[in-house]
Amino acid sequence: MGRRGFLLTAWPWRAAGYLLSTVPVVLTVGLPPVLLGLPPFLAVAPDATLGEWAFLAVLGALLVAGLGPMATIPLARLERRRLRLVDLRSTGSGHRRPPGRGVVPWLRTRYAESATWRELGYFLLLAATTPVLYAALVSALVLQLCAIAAPLILLGGDGPMALGPVEVATPAAALPYALAALVLLPAVPYLLALTSGAQAALARALLQRGSGERLQAELVEVARSRARLVDAFEAERRRIERDLHDGAQQRLLSLTMKLGLARVDLPSGSAAAASVADAHQEAKQLMTELRELVHGIHPRVLTDRGLAAALGELADRSPLAVTVAADLPARPPRHVESTAYFAAAEALTNAAKHSGADRAGVAARWDDGVLTLEIIDGGAGGADPGRGTGLTGLADRVAVIDGRLLVSSPAGGPTRVRVELPCDLNRPPSG
């Protein structure tokens, strides 16, 4: 509105449209209660006692509160759409999604949330203020038009006419008022914009979701997108592992085998045999390195055989003597499996590096929707998650899937890392 050239934009027209279209809305909200309420009111009015008045007031309030939302919820949706006429910012509904299908969950949600009652308040306010406000606005506009037209009307000789508080009788007397009204003409769009702006501000304040609701919705969205990211990350790791396994690893194996074959065929002691032997050795070294790399990205045994087998393999790779007790009736979802696996790997690495233990135990079990993984080492204890011994990263990983990481590591040991991951188990594969 403060911009230059405001008068030449579509905004004055949009403001006028907004104000004009408010009228049917207010009529829709206001007329039914008035039409329904007036006859009993008139019937009772003449000789009503205070108690009867109070009774009527309570009854009316109950009716408005009980039935009002049925009308205002759809009307509020209309109002949010209409708000776009004068407000380009997006307007989200503050309503929550009902927990189930059907009428009852819907009613229960709607009548229990603040958005519904804010909407009802908005329409009550609108119905109470707009008639007065609009009457004043329309009178002012009519007065202005009359003032402009007054000299012409008086030229026609229709006697004295009233321009608000003053009365003019001749065109000459009317001329100053007409000039003043003409000068004030450009102010009309501003007046319309101001009114519609105030009304839009009211609508925005009461009809869209509040900051708490917005924050909650954003949190839910952030949590969801975080879970999606983790899933995508997991899928990507598996894809890279598969590509390397099917591609580079297979080709390298085949190449190394050919070098091995060439070695057999070359006369031993020749220069060629020596270089091929070198090449063969290097290729074998590369095979080992690539295998370790691929294993670190995502262990194949975890994909193929599941968590219990992968934990067994992890135990075999550890420099500690690790006992594994995994009792899982079926396989958890993939991202849970790999979180559990990498948590165990991290905990065992820590145990081997820092605890001074020579043995450790890993236990995995599933109980009532929670996969619990426990890693205990017989070391000196004193592990501190705050000192960044990899435990922080572990906690982050676990938190992403709504799990918990508990570390107990008293001085003197033992260190106990417990990971709880909520999940459902997949049904065991049928074939």
Partner 1 sequence: MRSEPTAVRVVLAEDGVLLREGLAGLLARFAFDVVAAVGDAAALRAAVAEHRPDLVITDIRMPPDFSDEGLRAAVELRHADPDLAVVALSQYVELSYAADLLDSGAGRRVGYLLKDRVVDVADFVAALRQVVGGGTVVDPQVIRQLITRRRDPLAELSPREHEVLMLIAEGHSNAAIARRLVVTDATVGKHVRSILAKLDLPQTEDTHRRVLAVLAYLRGRPANPQPR
Q: Which residues bind partner 1 (CB under 8 A)?
A: 245-246, 250-251, 253-254, 256-261, 263-265, 280, 283-284, 287, 291, 300-301, 304-305, 309, 312-313, 316, 321, 431
Instruction: List residues bridging with 50 in a β-sheet.
Output: none
End-to-end CA distance of the chain: 71
Residues whose CB is less than 8 angstroms from the CB of residue 6 and which lie 6 or more positions away in sequence, other chains included: 12, 189, 190, 193
Tokens of 286: 């590369």
Residue 158 or 316: the one with the smaller Cβ distance to partner 1 is: 316
Minimum distance from residue 256 beta carbon to partner 1 (Å): 4
Print the SS3 string covering 118-153: HHHHHHHHHHHHHHHHHHHHHHHHHHHHHHHHHHHH
Say if residue 327 is exposed, middle or buried (CB neighbours under 10 Å; 0-12, 13-18, 19+).
exposed
For partner 1, the closer of residues 216 and 281 by Cβ is 281
Q: In the 8-state DSSP scheme, what is residue 85?
A: T
Q: How far is the CB of 262 from partner 1 (least distance, A)?
A: 9
Give the count of alpha carbons within 13 A of 287, CB side only: 15
Query: Which two tokens mark 311?
Result: 């934990």
Residues in the chain: 431
Please report how close the Cβ of residue 371 comes to partner 1 at its closest, in angstroms: 22
Smaller CB separation from partner 1, 192 or 324: 324
Residue 16 or 290 having the CB closest to partner 1: 290
Q: What residues contact 41, with CB distance under 8 A and at least 6 apart?
A: 56
Please report how close the Cβ of residue 306 comes to partner 1 at its closest, in angstroms. Answer: 10
Of 300 and 397, nearer to partner 1 (C-beta) is 300
Q: How far apart are CB 241 and partner 1 at their closest, in Å?
A: 12
Task: Give the shortest CB-284-to-partner 1 separation in angstroms.
Answer: 6
Tell me the C-alpha distance between 10 and 12, whole Å: 6
* Cβ-based nearer residue to partner 1, 322 or 373: 322
In order, the DSSP letters of 209-235 are: PPHHHHHHHHHHHHHHHHHHHHHHHHH
| Shortest reach from residue 322's CB to partner 1, in Å | 9
Nearest CB to partner 1, comparing residues 218 and 327: 327
